[in-house]
A and B are shown apart, each in its own frame.
Chain A
C-alpha cells in the first residue's frame, strides 16, 4: 500500500467555486503534514503545513484527522491561477524523509 494516497483527478471547476481534495496516509506515527503545489514542469512549492487543529491561509483551509489518517485541503473562491497539481506530503518512518502523494490535478476554468 502506498504511504500517501490521493485522488489524481482531474478536478475541473469554474472560477469562484469551492473545491476539496482528500488524502490518506498509512503511517500512524507520522508527525509532519503538508500540502505542496506543483505547476506544470516546475518544482513543487510548499503551499501550507497542516496542523492538528486545522489551519487557514487566505482562501486555503487544511484539516488533519489523525484517527482516520486523513488530510484535506479546501480551496474557496477558486482562481484561474489555482490551476496546478496539489501534492499531499507526510513524513516517513525515519522521520527525516517526506513521502509525497502522486498529486491531484486541478483545472479552474473561466
Chain B
C-alpha cells in the first residue's frame, strides 16, 4: 500500500513550457485534490475531484488543468509555465468526500520555472 504517490519530486521548467504532474493513490479514495504551497501563503487549493469524471476549481485554478479518468489518478497539467508557478505542489486524497477523515498527502513536487 503506497498511499499517495507524486512524480516527479523535482522539476525545472522554462517559461512557456508545459508539463504534467502525476498523482496516484491506491487507497480507493473518491476525493483527490491539488494544493500549492508558497512561503508565507500556506496551502492553497488549485483543483479537486469528488470522483472519476468530476472535477472542480479551487482557490487558484488559473494556469492549471486537471482530469480524473480513473479513481486512482489525478494529474495536474501546467499549460504554459510562468515563474509565478514556482512552488511546491501537493496532491492529497481522502476516502470521505466531506473530508471528515482528513487527507493523506503525497510527498510533493518542487517546481521551479525559470
Contacts and interface: CB of A to CB of B under 8 A. Distances in A.
Q: Is the interface on chain A under 10, 10 to 19, 20 to 34, or 35 or more residues?
A: 20 to 34
Contacts, number: 58
A97 B106 contact: no
Interface in A88-106: 89, 91, 94-103
B43 interface: yes
Contact of B43 (A42, A49, A87, A95): A87
B103 interface: yes
A32 interface: yes
Interface in B39-55: 40-43, 45, 48, 50
Interface residues of B, number: 24
A32 B99 CA distance: 7
B48 A96 contact: yes
Interface of A: 31-32, 34, 36, 42-46, 49, 87, 89, 91, 94-103
Interface of B: 31, 33, 35, 40-43, 45, 48, 50, 56, 58, 90, 97-100, 102-108
